[in-house]
Structure 1
Amino acid sequence: MAYRDRTSTKIKGAILAQLVKLTYRLPKLMVFGFAYLVNLISRLTRSRSNRVIRQNLALCYPELSVPETEQLIKQIHFHNACLLSEFATAWLGRRDQILNQIGQIHHQSVIDDLLEQNKTVVVAVLHLGNWEYLWQWLQIHYPAFGMYQPSKFKQLDEIVLESRTKFGGKAHSTDPKGIMGLLKQLRQHGVMMILPDQAPREGAGIYTPFFGHPAYTMTLLHKLLIKSGATLVFGNSIRNTQQSCFDIHLEKASFDCHEPSVEVFNQQMNQQIEAIVRRWPAQYQWNYKRFKRQPEGKKIYD
């Protein structure tokens, strides 16, 4: 049975890797058309993705009317189709292809001023817009590094890992050895990217309000900032549908990023994350089960 599972995983990985390479070569309009069809079917059926989106919106936007909710869901599926069609170029694209997808940079001085002061910058990036383009922009312009969790599909993993390092960036694994290497590099200055809005593994987070509901939130970011003295910045790559590219938005943390209490830090961090999401709600990854871990085993999703 174990041998069959390994063989099946290997075959699936090979198929996924070839699919990524194929979509990179195909016309963008064709790839988007397929992704849009997949999301249209998902929206019109009781697919898992559509159910999760609806359950998340019911929690986070209870004030919306039924027509407003349906309109937002339609927009979310459109942006999900965009995201699905963009990954191949984000991973395999040349430097010029990546930069051609970047539009305006808002408040780049937030990073530049800190680096001029010989400070390390930690950029907290949400699952909003397309975070892969934000990483590519960072590693093209700065000595960038970040965390990397290997995929169970080896062939796909090789594509993603190469994309994270091909413009000079460094990727540290999520195991203890990788965390130690990450902390060491934090003390040597540069720009680190981290995605703080996913539920961490059991024991690596605490419950913190997010849109008024308990969300299991990582404690790692707080530990890294306290131990390294790095400065926290929020950054996002937001899809500009009118220009078919991405605008980079950077902003300082609106709270003390060296707050000694992790409970207070996480509460203030989630408040700022929520405020950012509310600016571009249609581009957030609402099909992710952000509230899957709840106190006392409460179930949010069916």
Structure 2
Amino acid sequence: MLLAFYRLLARLPLGWLHRLGRWLGLLVYRCSREYADRLRANAALAGYQGEAFAKRAAAAAGEGALEIPRVWFKPGQALAECRTDDWDVVQGALDEGKGILFLTPHLGCFEVAARYYAYRGGPITVLYRPPRKAWVSQLVEGGRRGPNLDTAPANLQGVRQLVRALRKGEAIGILPDQVPGNGEGVWAPFFGRPAFTMVLPGRLALQTGAAVILAAGERLPDAQGWKIHFTRLPGPVPETPEAQAAWVSAGMEKMIRRCPEQYLWGYNRYKAPRGEAPPSM
């Protein structure tokens, strides 16, 4: 039933999806005190304070949720609504032939960035954390896969799949601001507060020599589609996991400040996994 509902949503014009999404985002913001408090607190750490900003961010989160069916199930239409001024960044990495590690934070339409690369650049394998419910996992995996676009589960088998792709000179995609599990991350500053940050991107970059590029799909106003931003992180890759995590976090901060209202400030970015105590500030 959920699959049918997603396919139905995908048929709606993008403007309708965004209007419905704004309503949904504000409804959640008004009904969930915990979510609203976390959104405001996280945004304030980055200097974005006030109720007006918080409501715009909540509305943008709703837009992002309802545009996903269009990207998954009407990819041709979604890709026709994408543009970029940064393809030279990607082309330079492709010419090096060592593979590309795309890091896509929860900013704008993060689902569309990988699909845009798959359409224009070549094969890409995206790491994802399978939902616990099998029927939801089937929806997510089926929606994310497409021509030149594969998925890899967030486990040892999936990591090996990513390494193989990079060794072949292909691209991979990771959401770098997801909170990793115990033993899979280190503490690194994120907008001035320690956040448990995954070490996998740094390890892969150091191991394979792949280019590391931040990618984000900025949502354009008036349902004009998305502008894909690509920014390469400057080398060399730091040696230690702590320095690598800080390197990635600093790059994410710069990308987020391009369109801060479109970041998922309501995500519990600063939670501590079981057994991990945050460092004293």
TM-score (norm 2): 0.90
Q: What are the within-5 Å matches in structure 2 for residues 86-97 of structure 1?
A: 86-95=67-76, 97=77
Aligned to 2:35: 49
Alpha-carbon shift at residue 229 of structure 1 (Å): 1.5
The 3 A distance-change label for structure 1 pair 291 and 260 is: same
Q: Describe the SS at the equivalent of 1:126.
A: coil
Query: 1:205–1:216: 8 Å Cα contact kept in structure 2?
Result: yes
**Structure index of larger Rg:** 1
| Residue matched to 2:54 | 73
- TM-score (normalizing by structure 1): 0.84
Aligned partner of 2:217 among 223, 234, 237: 237
Indicate conservation of the 8 Å contact 1:17/1:155, yes or no. no
Per-residue CA shift, 1:85-120, capped at 9, x if unaligned?
A: 20111111142x1222213x1221111122123221
Distance (whole Å) between structure 1 residues aligned to residue 61 and residue 68 of structure 2: 11
| 2:71 corresponds to 1:85 | no
Q: CA RMSD in A?
A: 2.1
Question: What is the CA–CA distance in structure 1 between the aligned matches of 2:63 and 2:277, rounded to whole Å?
Answer: 37
Match of 1:37 among 7, 23, 32: 23
Q: Answer yes or no: is 1:213 the counterpart of 2:193.
A: yes
Give secondary structure in 2 for the equivalent of 1:128: coil
Unaligned runs of 5+ in 2: none
Q: 1-side partners of 2:228 and 2:12: how far apart?
A: 26
Q: How does 1:118-133 map to 2 (within 5 A)?
A: 118-133=97-112
Give CA deviations for 1:102-139 in whole Å, capped at 9, x if unaligned.
13x12211111221232211111111001111111111
Query: Cα distance 1:264–1:31, how it changes in 2: closer, same or farther (>3 A)?
Result: closer
Are residues 39 and 169 of structure 1, via their aligned partners in 2, closer, same or farther at CA, if it must alter by over 3 Å?
A: closer
Gaps (5+ residues) in structure 1? 1-14
Amino acid paired to 2:159: I
Matched position secondary structure for 2:104? strand
1:289 pairs with 256, 260, 268, which one?
268
Counterparts of 2:94 and 2:189 in 1: how far apart (Å)? 32
CA distance in 2, matches of 1:58, 1:113: 36
2:172 is matched with 192
In structure 2, the CA distance between the partners of 1:269 and 1:31, relative to structure 1 (3 Å rule), is closer
Structure 1's 196 and 249: CA in aligned 2 closer, same or farther, altered over 3 A? same
Structure 1 residues 228-251: Cα deviation after superposition (integer angstroms, max 9, x where no partner): 111111111111114521001111
Q: 1:47 to 1:31 in 2, by over 3 A?
A: farther
Seq. identity, %: 24
- Preserved CA contact (<8 Å) 2:106 2:263: yes
Partner of 1:115: 94
Compared with structure 1, are the counterparts of its residues 297 and 116 closer, same or farther at alpha carbon in structure 2 (3 Å cutoff)? closer
CA distance in structure 1 between the aligned counterparts of 2:195 and 2:75, rounded to whole angstroms = 38
